[in-house]
Structure 1
Amino acid sequence: MDRGDTWGDAERSRLLATIALELRNTGGERAREAACEAERLARRAGDPATLAFALNARFIQCFERAGLARERAAIGAELVDLATRHDLVPFAVLGHLVLVQANSALAEFATADHHATEADRLAEDHGLPLVGVFTDGYRALRATVAGGPNPYPALARRLAGTGMTGVDVLPLAELCWKVQNGQEVESAVADLPRDLLYEARACLRAVQAIREGDRDTMTRLYAELLPAEHELAGAGSGMLTLGPVAHYLGDLATALGNPTKAATHYRRAQDLARKAKAPHWTAAAERATKPPPNPPTEPSRHGGRVEDHR
């Protein structure tokens, strides 16, 4: 391949990656194809910075269905390796943050802790103060996993002066904390964009569907959430969680009249809760595996409906 072809590949890769990044969760298959082609061209071009940019696009487009945390972890690991070898600091930070998010979804918190520490170290060494917004959000997530008091009012104060109110996930984070702590809340989750918060919103929508007796929605959400049974709902955001997706699958299976499947899901929720060292989730899963003689069809641990969080 001559130099002209290589430069052409790099330019086309950057253009396609830009398209994929701009379209984010609205471009569907077209955007995913653009990200994949950007990666292919970047690898052929052999330029590390172009490849890192393309991997960023691939990450943004890795949300077409529930349960893709392991795939995102692989992208994050390659980003960290590539960026470290070629001194691409912003992409190294991005890779560490991707790994914080993906490992949180998988309840691999020792690994996520390591990458949060590395992101903070790079931020301090290279003067990148906004990285702390994400790592502070991760620490709030860790507090909710441990079953501590609500960390989100303090996080909101921390973010007030950053200009990153985007961290407009904070209302949803508050809601998730209330739901898993049994508080009565109003709820109507209508839109389910395919992004870092898809599993959390889908689980909230499942709570709503169960309460409304909406069998069609329950059936659809059960199928859509099933690939994420091994993940924590919402934890892929690195900022909030509703607990094990498996627990919500158990609630859906119960409401749909399949107690055998429900029991399997609740046991898996219990295993994941123990892995996460989350005593409140463990206790909830244990209670769900021992239903009363005439169990209600409502969710086994949630109270109330939920506000409109789109």
Structure 2
Amino acid sequence: MLREARRKLSDELGLDLSPALTVLSTRILRRDGQLDRSDSASLASIASAYSSSSVRAQLEASNVVLGSLAVAGDLQTARQQRLAAIEAAAGLNDPELAARIIGGYDVPGIWTRTDDPAASTAVVAAAEAALASPVNLTDRSRARLLATIAMESRGAGNRQGEATEAVELARNLGDSQLLCFALSAHFMQAFARTGLAKHREDIGRQLITTAFDADSPTCEINGRLIRMQALCALSDIDSAALEANAVDQLAVRHERPLAKVFTRQLRHEDVLVDGDFGPYEPWVRPLLLLRAGHQANAAAALRHLPDPPRDLLLEATWCVLAQTACELREPSMISRAYTALTPAGGERAAGSGVVDAGSVDDYLGMLWAAGAGPA
């Protein structure tokens, strides 16, 4: 991580790490208990460790520290300080600088739903404003802003166009680090429908190759996790296990504590235990109501549901709805589920890598038998 920070500061900003920063970065990444992170609420206290030359240089350097904090596991501090940096940059009335600050936080993502929608909305709004400014942005700044929009809009909107353009710009620039970020953002938008596991496997493969060129273990982990998830959906469990093992080894070697969260697979066979399903609650509740004997309430809840979120659990959620619709003999949802799941025929509803709802073909057969086919 320190090597990545040094490269980025030197190559992109023309700044060198001071001895004090080297010590500080090491202590942060080791999660030194002596550091009082509550004091890090002051952006200047972090940025000044990088440069005392100007506020501008401090802001540009801040993304390196914040990215380090994020991949080391301190997501809350990184998120808070990122918004503070964006706000501070906006106050300098320099659209080009604002664009670099907004798009410079090139931390890859693996889970396709943001855990802070308000913060993501604020970042997307800032990125869109920077793109709409009259300033003639460089292709590099434009690519970072587009990738940021695609990354932060995960699970909340269709930003495939922005993701695709970001990848194309990064390739044309020959910037492997930027291409890693753009590919990760592209993955976040690869859920327009069910059945796209092969497409995501290809994104993961490209990301792994590009990460070697960028000398980025963070992006290599990201690519291997993406490929692991896709291989689970493609029923290639042996290859998925190899990727999971590689991720675990990289996580230990490079101190990435969050990576192992995604390499522990849970298989839910026929039993769905009631509990906290978070944002997926509306799509799971009808089946739980049915299992509890509340058929009328289950049917009422099922009839008015919107389509599930377009994310890693898309196929699994549709399979839950298919099961519920077939047991209730609810024709509208039977038809909707069959149409939605048809593109995923031949796959498993296991694209998250942590939940496996079984063979999609089994659910398609169940839906057909329940009346999804011609009368």
Say if 1:76 and 1:96, in contact at 8 Å, map to a contact too: yes
Structure with the bigger RCO (C-alpha within 8 Å, sep 6+) is 1
The Cα offsets for residues 108-128 of structure 1, whole Å up to 9 and x where unpaired, read as 011100000110111111111
- Alignment partner of 1:200 is 2:328: no
Match of residue 246, structure 2, among 98, 118, 127? 118
- Once residues 372 and 261 of structure 2 are traced to their aligned partners in structure 1, the CA distance between those partners, rounded to angstroms, is 43
1:88 partner amino acid: S
Match of 1:68 among 196, 216, 231: 196
d(CA) in 2 for partners of 1:43, 1:76: 16
Instruction: Tell me whether 1:249 sits opposite 2:364 in the alignment.
Output: yes
Residues of 2 paired with 1:109 and 1:185: CA distance? 34
Name the structure 2 match of 1:87.
215
Q: 1:107 to 1:185 in 2, by over 3 A?
A: farther
Distance 1:257 1:128, change over 3 A: closer
TM-fit CA distance, 1:202? 0.9
Separation in structure 2 between the aligned mates of residue 216 and residue 171 of structure 1, nearest angstrom: 20
Amino acid at match of 2:312: L
On the 8 A contact 1:101/1:236 being kept in 2, the answer is yes
> What residue in structure 1 maps to residue 345 of structure 2?
229
- Larger Cα Rg: Structure 1 or Structure 2? 2
Which amino acid in the other structure matches residue 133 of structure 1?
A: V
The farther-off stretch of 124-133 and 113-122 is 124-133
Q: Deviations over 1:180-203 (max 9, x none)?
A: xxx946765634011111111111
Q: Per-residue displacement from partner, 1:46-82 (whole Å, max 9, x unpaired)?
A: 1001100000011000000000000000000010111
Instruction: Give the whole-Å Cα distance in 2 for the aligned partners of 1:115 and 1:185.
Output: 39
Equivalence for 2:353: 238
Unaligned ranges ≥5, structure 1: 1-6, 157-164, 261-310
Please report how far the alpha carbon of residue 259 of structure 1 lies from its aligned counterpart in structure 2 after TM superposition. 9.8
2:316 counterpart letter in structure 1? A
CA offsets 1:163-220 (integer angstroms, 9 cap, x no match): xx9x958989xx8xx99xxx94676563401111111111111122223322222112
Aligned equivalents of 2:332, 2:281: Cα separation in 1: 28
The 5 A counterparts of 1:247-286 are 247-256=362-371, 258=373
The residue aligned with 1:275 is none
What does residue 209 of structure 1 align with?
Answer: 325
1: CA distance between counterparts of 2:186 and 2:337? Answer: 25
The count of corresponding residues between Structure 1 and Structure 2 is 227
Q: TM-score, normalised by structure 2?
A: 0.55
User: CA–CA distance in 1 between the matches of 2:309 and 2:280?
Assistant: 17
| Number of the residue aligned with 2:144 | 14
* Letter paired with 2:336: R
Asked if structure 2 preserves the Cα contact closer than 8 Å seen for 1:9 and 1:44, the reply is: no
Output one character per residue of 1:13-60: Cα deviation in whole Å (capped at 9) or x when no partner.
Answer: 1100000111112222xx110101111111111100110000001100
Q: C-alpha displacement at 1:129, in angstroms?
A: 1.4
Question: More displaced, 127-136 or 62-71?
Answer: 127-136
Runs of 5+ in structure 2 lacking a partner? 1-136
In 1, Cα distance between equivalents of 2:278 and 2:330: 29
Structure 2: which amino acid aligns with 1:13?
A
Residue 46 (structure 1) aligns with: 174
AA aligned opposite 2:144: R
Query: What residue in structure 1 maps to residue 40 of structure 2?
Result: none
Q: Is the 8 A contact 2:348 2:356 kept in 1?
A: yes
Aligned equivalents of 1:19, 1:104: Cα separation in 2: 28
Matching of residues 134-213 of structure 1 within 5 Å: 134-136=262-264, 138=265, 140-141=266-267, 184=291, 190-191=305-306, 192-213=308-329
Q: Residue in 2 aligned with 1:109? A: 237
Q: 2:164 aligns with which of 33, 36, 55?
A: 36
CA contact (8 A) 2:176 2:213 kept: no
Give 1:23's match in structure 2, choosing from 142, 153, 162: 153
Q: If the length of structure 1 is used for normalisation, what is the TM-score?
A: 0.65
Partner SS for 1:232: coil
Question: Cα–Cα, structure 1 residues 14 and 251, in superposed 2: closer, same or farther, change >3 Å?
Answer: same
Distance 2:201 2:328 in 1: 36
Q: CA deviation at 1:258?
A: 4.6
Post-superposition, which runs of at least 4 consecutive aligned residues in structure 1 deviate over 6 A?
Answer: 169-172
SS of 2:356's partner is coil
2:150–2:185: 8 Å Cα contact kept in structure 1? yes
> How far apart in 1 are the matches of 2:280 and 2:249?
25
The offset of 1:227, in angstroms, is 0.7
CA offsets 1:141-178 (integer angstroms, 9 cap, x no match): 4xx58x9x99x9xxx9xxxxxxxx9x958989xx8xx9
Amino acid of the residue matched to residue 146 of structure 2?
A: L
Cα offsets for 1:77-113 (capped at 9, x unmatched): 0101110232111110000100110000111011100
Q: 1:219 aligns with which of 335, 338, 347?
A: 335
